[in-house]
Structure 1
Amino acid sequence: MSAELILHIITCNCFFLMAFVAWFNPGKVNVVANRWLGLFFAAVGCMVCNVVLFDAGLEGAYPRIVGFNELSRFALAPALYLSIVQFTTPGSKLKGADYLHFIPFTIFFLYMVPVLYFPNYQLIGGHISLPPKVNFVIGFLVRWSVNVQLLVYWVLAFNTLRRHRKHIQLIASDTVPVNLNWLKYLLLSIGGMLALFFASILFNIHLTPAGIAFGHLLGGLAIFYYSLAQKEIFPFEVSELKAINEVIVEVDAQVKPIKQRFADEQARQMRTKLESLMTAEKLYLDNELSLPQLAEAMGVSVHDLSFLLNEKIGLNFFQFVNAYRVEEAKQIMLSDKYKHLNILGIAYSAGFSSKTTFNTVFKTQVGMAPSEFMRRGKVDEGVLAGAERQH
C-alpha cells in the first residue's frame, strides 16, 4: 500500500468525521451554518473517497459508488458558500431561492440516475446509449464546470467574508473570536488548489501525489481544530438580531439616511450621556461588550445608538469602545501602580481580550506599539527626574 493511498484514506475518514461533528454540532453554535459546512465536508470526503478507489484500482469494482461520489462535486461549492452566508448574516434563514444554487447538482444527478439505479448502464466512457461525441462533450463540461463553479463561488464567499470583517466592527468591541479567520484560511487553501489545477492545465505544473495528499490532510486537521473552537457569531435575541441585520444593511449600503433619527440637540444630549456612562462605569472594561449591551445600558434602541456612533460621532462601535481602552492602557502604562504588569496584563486590564488586538488597535490610534510607548514613557520620566535633581 503506497504512502499516498494511506494518506488519502486518513484524509477521507477525517473529512467524514468533520462532517459528522459539524452536522450534530456538540457546541450548538451557528447551527444552520455548521450543517451547510457539514455538507461541504461530506462532499470533500466523497471526492477523496474516489481518489482512494482509483489509487487502489477499485473503480471498476464499485462504479456506482464512484458515480455517487462524483455527484458531490456539484454540491461542494454552493454548500460552502451558503455556510459562509449563514455564518455572516445575523438571524439568517434559508429561502427557497437558496436551493437554486443546486441546479447544476440536480442536472448532473438526472444524468447520473441510470448509472446509480440501472445495473446495465455504465459510466461516461463505457458502452452507453448516448453518441460518443455527446458523451465526450458532457465529460469535458463536467470536468471544467466543477472547477469554474468552485472558482465563482470562491469569489462570492471570499467577498462575503471580507464584508463580514467590516460588519462585526459595527456591533462587537472584540472581533477576534468572531472574525471567521479560520474560514478565510479554508478559502485560501481552496484558492491555492484551484490555482494549481489551472496552472497544471496552462503551464503543465504538477505536484507529487504524496505531497498533495499530505497537504489535504494537514489542511483538513487545521480546519477541524478551528471549527471545534468556534464561537457563536451573533449571540443575541431574535429582536436584536433583526435590528443588527438592519443596521448592517444600512451601513453596508453606504447611503446617508434620508431622515435623521433625532435632532442635533438630542444627539448632543445622548453623546454626553454615553461618554459619561463610559467614563463613570467603565463599561469598556468588559471585553465582550457589544452594541446591544451598550444600547441597553444607555436605554436606547440599537438603531439609535448605531446612528449616534456612525453618523454623529463618526466612529463605528469597535473604534469608539477601543478608543477608551487605549486611553485606559496608556494610563496603566504610565502608572507606578501597575509596573508589575507585562503587555498582556496591561491589555487585559484595559478591556482587551488578546495581545494581537491590543497591539493593532494601540498602534493605529497612538502611532506606535505599546512597548515603544512604555519605553518613551520611562525615558521621559528619567529626563524629568534628572531635571528635578539639577534644580
Structure 2
Amino acid sequence: MNLFLMCFTAGECFLLSFLLFFHPLKENLYANRWLALFLFMMGTAFIGVYFSKTTAGINYPYVFQCINSLQFIMAPALFLSTLYFADPVKIFKKKDLSHFAPFILYVFIEALFVARGSDFMKQRLFDIGDNTILIRDLLPLQLLIYVLLSYRVLLNHQQNLQRITASFKGINLNWLRYFLLILALITFFWINDALLGFSLLLQITPLIYTGSIFFLAYFSIRQRTVFAFNQQELQEISVLLERPQQTDLQKTERLSAKELDLYAQKLHTLMTTDQLFLDNNLSLPMLADQLGCSIHDASFLINKLSDGNFYTFINQQRVEQAKKLLSSGKNSELNMLGIAFASGFNSKTAFNTAFKKYCGMSPTTYAKRYGST
C-alpha cells in the first residue's frame, strides 16, 4: 500500500475536518461538528495504516494503540451527524451514548492487553475458509452498518420534508446521500483489504481513498442550512416530525368544527385570491403565520381538507395554475421554465415531475393537447 498516499489522504481528512468544525457560515453547526469528528477519526485511521506498515508502530506502541481505539468512534460520529442534519433541534441524549459502547469496551479490553504487551486489535475471532477474522476486521463492518442506518435516516428525512415544504431544493440533503455512497465505496475497498484480498482492488485502493476524500470535500462544502426557521418554529417542526400522520378522528378533535371552518375559509382565500402558492419559498411555518394558527394546526388543517401533506397540497395548486397558463396559450409567450416560475415552482425539474404526477402527462404534451391556437 502506498504510504505516501495514505499520509496525503490523512492530511485531506484533517483539513476537511478543520473546515467543517469551524464552518465560516455557521451552517448546521452541530451536525458539521459531528461530521468533522468523523473525518478526523478517519484521518487517524489512515495514520494508523502508516504506523502498522512502518517501525512507528513498534517505536510508539501506546500512540498506535490509541489510534486503533479511536477508529471505533468513526461510525457513531457519522450517524449522529446525519441525525443532527435531519432533526432541526436535536440534542444529545443519554441513549446516544450507546453508540459508543464498542469504543468504551475496546478501550477497557485493550488496556488489559497492553499491560500484557500484546495487541488486542490483532486478536483472532474466527476463520472463514482460508481467512482469519481479527478484531480490527470489525471496523469496516461497523462503518458499513452505520452508513446504511444513516441512509435510512435520509429517506425518512425526505418524507418528513413533504410535511413542511413544497420545494426540496437545497434542503433535501442529496449532497449527504452522495457523501454516504462514496463512504460505501470506501468501505467496500476497506473490507476487501481486511477480508477478501483481491489483488487488483488492493493495488488501486490508495488511489480510491485519496480520490474519494476529494469528492467528500466537494459534496460537504456545498451544503445549505436545512431548516432556515427561527427557534420557535424549529421547536414546533421538530415535534411535528416526531409524530406520525394522525387519523381523521384525531384531526377533527384537534380543531373544533368552528375553527376548522374558519381556517378553511382563510386557506381558500390565501390560495385563490392571494395565490400564496406562487411564492416558491413557501413553507408550512409561513402558511401558518398567514392563517394565524400554529404550525401543528396548519398541518392538521391541510391533512383534513386535502387528505394529503403540505407538499402535495401546494404542488397541486401550482399544477392547476400551470394548466391554466398552458391552456391559455401563455406558453407562446413564456417557455416552459417561465411557466414553471410563473406557477410557483423554483426549477424546471420540479415542475415537470409534479405536472406528470398530477396530470399523467408532460407539460409539453398538455400544451399541445389543450393549448389555445
TM-score with structure 1 setting the length: 0.82
Instruction: Return closer, same or farther for 1:141/1:302 CA change in 2, 3 Å cut-off.
Output: same
Select which of 268, 288, 291 maps to 2:261.
268
Asked if structure 2 preserves the Cα contact closer than 8 Å seen for 1:23 and 1:35, the reply is yes
Number of the residue aligned with 2:108: 110
Instruction: Return closer, same or farther for 1:274/1:149 CA change in 2, 3 Å cut-off.
Output: same
Q: Deviations over 1:155-194 (max 9, x none)?
A: 3222211111000111112113111112222222333444
Select which of 28, 43, 46 maps to 2:44.
46
1:316-331 alignment, distance < 5 Å = 316-331=309-324
For residues 329 and 221 of structure 1, the distance between their equivalents in structure 2, rounded to whole angstroms, comes to: 41
Number of the residue aligned with 2:289: 296
Q: SS where residue 178 of structure 1 aligns?
A: coil
TM-fit CA distance, 1:51: 3.0
Asked if structure 2 preserves the Cα contact closer than 8 Å seen for 1:47 and 1:69, the reply is yes
Q: Which amino acid aligns with 2:318?
A: R
Number of the residue aligned with 2:275: 282
For residues 252 and 355 of structure 2, the distance between their equivalents in structure 1, rounded to whole angstroms, comes to: 35
Q: Which amino acid aligns with 1:235?
A: A
Number of the residue aligned with 2:176: 183
Asked if structure 1 preserves the Cα contact closer than 8 Å seen for 2:355 and 2:362, the reply is yes
Asked if structure 2 preserves the Cα contact closer than 8 Å seen for 1:9 and 1:52, the reply is yes
Number of the residue aligned with 2:339: 346
For residues 5 and 347 of structure 2, the distance between their equivalents in structure 1, rounded to whole angstroms, comes to: 36
Q: SS where residue 170 of structure 1 aligns?
A: coil
For residues 16 and 254 of structure 1, the distance between their equivalents in structure 2, rounded to whole angstroms, comes to: 49
For residues 310 and 107 of structure 1, the distance between their equivalents in structure 2, rounded to whole angstroms, comes to: 47
Number of residue pairs aligned between Structure 1 and Structure 2: 368
- Structure 2 gaps, min length 5: 127-131
Asked if structure 2 preserves the Cα contact closer than 8 Å seen for 1:171 and 1:291, the reply is yes
Select which of 88, 91, 95 maps to 1:90.
88
Q: SS where residue 251 of structure 1 aligns?
A: coil
Instruction: Return closer, same or farther for 1:232/1:54 CA change in 2, 3 Å cut-off.
Output: same
Q: Which amino acid aligns with 2:237?
A: I
Instruction: Return closer, same or farther for 1:375/1:71 CA change in 2, 3 Å cut-off.
Output: farther
Q: SS where residue 75 of structure 1 aligns?
A: helix
Q: Which amino acid aligns with 2:345?
A: F
Number of the residue aligned with 1:100: 98
TM-fit CA distance, 1:99: 2.1
TM-fit CA distance, 1:102: 1.1
TM-fit CA distance, 1:237: 2.3
TM-fit CA distance, 1:203: 6.7
The CA RMSD over aligned residues, in Å, is 3.2
Number of the residue aligned with 1:164: 157
TM-fit CA distance, 1:137: 4.5
Asked if structure 1 preserves the Cα contact closer than 8 Å seen for 2:141 and 2:191, the reply is no
Instruction: Return closer, same or farther for 1:199/1:223 CA change in 2, 3 Å cut-off.
Output: closer
Q: Which has the larger radius of gyration?
A: 1
TM-fit CA distance, 1:255: 9.3
Select which of 346, 353, 366 maps to 1:373.
366
TM-fit CA distance, 1:273: 1.6
Q: Which amino acid aligns with 1:36?
A: W
Q: Deviations over 1:27-66 (max 9, x none)?
A: 1111111111111111111112233455667544554443
TM-fit CA distance, 1:87: 1.0
Number of the residue aligned with 2:357: 364
Instruction: Return closer, same or farther for 1:210/1:12 CA change in 2, 3 Å cut-off.
Output: farther
Asked if structure 2 preserves the Cα contact closer than 8 Å seen for 1:174 and 1:353, the reply is yes
TM-score with structure 2 setting the length: 0.86
For residues 243 and 121 of structure 2, the distance between their equivalents in structure 1, rounded to whole angstroms, comes to: 53
Q: Which amino acid aligns with 1:168?
A: L
Instruction: Return closer, same or farther for 1:93/1:341 CA change in 2, 3 Å cut-off.
Output: same
Say whether 1:311 aligns with 2:320: no
For residues 100 and 319 of structure 1, the distance between their equivalents in structure 2, rounded to whole angstroms, comes to: 38
Q: Deviations over 1:270-294 (max 9, x none)?
A: 2232021122222222222111111
TM-fit CA distance, 1:208: 3.0
- Structure 1 gaps, min length 5: 127-134, 383-391
Asked if structure 2 preserves the Cα contact closer than 8 Å seen for 1:5 and 1:52, the reply is yes
